[in-house]
Amino acid sequence: MQITYNLKPALERRTEQFLPTTNVGFGNLRTDHMFLMDYRDGEWCDPRVVPYGPFQVAPGAIALHYGQSVFEGAKAFQHEDGEIYTFRIDKNAERLNRSADILCIPALPEQMQIDAINALIDVDRLWFPMQEGACLYIRPFIFATEDRLSVSPSEQYTFCVMLSPSGPYYADGFDKAIRLLISERFHRAVSGGTGASKAAGNYAASLKAGKAAAEYGAAQVLYLDANNKQIEEVGAMNHFHVRKDGTIVIPKFTDTILKSITSESILDLGELLGCEVRQETVMLDQFIADIESGEIVEAGGFGTAAVVSPVGSYIFEDNRIVTVGDGGVGEHTKRIYKVLTEIQKGHIQGPEGWVQHVKRVNV
């Protein structure tokens, strides 16, 4: 892929925003550039790195009306050698194409996606925040640009990658567990729908549920299946629980659950974690009974942005509260977080190929 570059003059980008003491937060900042590529006449063309800025989009663009748009979320980390390494970026590229397929968007060859991401990180590497535990959050997305109001797949698209220098998700340390609302009113996905994709519309559809969760003092909704029998996932994380023998359990991936790369990683790390990690159908009634009997001792969510998010309690729509263990952050959850983040930061060696060096080409 022959990428063209239109770069801003090199600046000293490590301003006060990037001092080790500044909390840059998650998703707030942007770097100088973005990567763009278009799809027209049946092929992906014109790969380019350009200054970050607004798009020109036709008011009739299909993405704006019918939501034909998919995205990814990945992270890159700076290791002690000063170099930047992506984490499992091949899995994100693969999943973008799975999402694209669900929304009738043409696939973008995975190596092209990875080359695009590496090219962008390379030119914006000085934007890496200096704060301990920081990362470059990578947001690739594809949206339909054809200016047409009939409901059928667009024949034109734009692929964009943007970067967000982000601080650690838990700026004050990993010591507060969240509450989830178990809802029988809101559902994220049904079989045969778009639940297994990162379709933009799935997140628009979660906003009302998020508001309802807040009214219950909960951070997010824990979604059940359409029959309100099984635990599925959280709006931006998979769900997990830990049994008292240390076994980590993640609901089985189905076509109503996003196949989380964090969950897949934890499933592969059983040996390093020193415990069994398995997937099974998780029935809500049994789950609650097991928390109450002390058989389940910890619970939480897995996701790229949140990494590992401990859950201390659940609230039902009738205000019944069920507390997991002592409601705090358990030892297993802390260990999972530590092992995963140490691999990402290059402090411990993960499985072959998980971290990939971003080569210095332009900078």
Q: Which of 47, 73, 133, 167 binds ligand PLP (CB under 6 A)?
A: 73
How many chain residues bind ligand COI (CB under 6 A)? 6
Q: In terms of CB distance, is 179 or 198 closer to ligand PLP?
A: 198
Q: Give the span between the Cα atoms of 46 and 53, in whole angstroms.
A: 17
3-state secondary structure of 325: coil
Site membership for ligand PLP, residue 262 (CB under 6 A): yes
Residue 265 Cβ vs ligand PLP, minimum distance, rounded to whole Å: 8
Residue 59 Cβ vs ligand COI, minimum distance, rounded to whole Å: 26
Exposed/middle/buried for 255, CB within 10 Å: 0-12, 13-18, 19+?
A: middle
Q: In terms of CB distance, is 164 or 260 closer to ligand PLP?
A: 260
Which of the residues 69 through 108 are near ligand COI (CB under 6 A)?
A: 73
Q: Which of 32, 124, 233, 290 binds ligand PLP (CB under 6 A)?
A: 233
Residue type at 359 in one-letter notation: K
Q: Give the span between the Cα atoms of 260 and 115, in whole angstroms.
A: 22
3-state secondary structure of 47: strand
CA distances from 63 to 72, 199, 209, 225 (A): 16, 11, 23, 28
Residue 220 Cβ vs ligand COI, minimum distance, rounded to whole Å: 11
Q: For the residues of 194-227, what is the DSSP string, one character each?
A: STTS-BHHHHHTTHHHHHHHHHTT-SEEEEE-TT
Site membership for ligand PLP, residue 169 (CB under 6 A): no
Site membership for ligand PLP, residue 337 (CB under 6 A): no
Instruction: Please give the residue ranges that form the binding site for ligand PLP (CB under 6 A).
Output: 73, 198, 233, 235-238, 258, 260-262, 302-304
Instruction: Please give the residue ranges that form the binding site for ligand COI (CB under 6 A).
Output: 73, 203, 236, 303-305
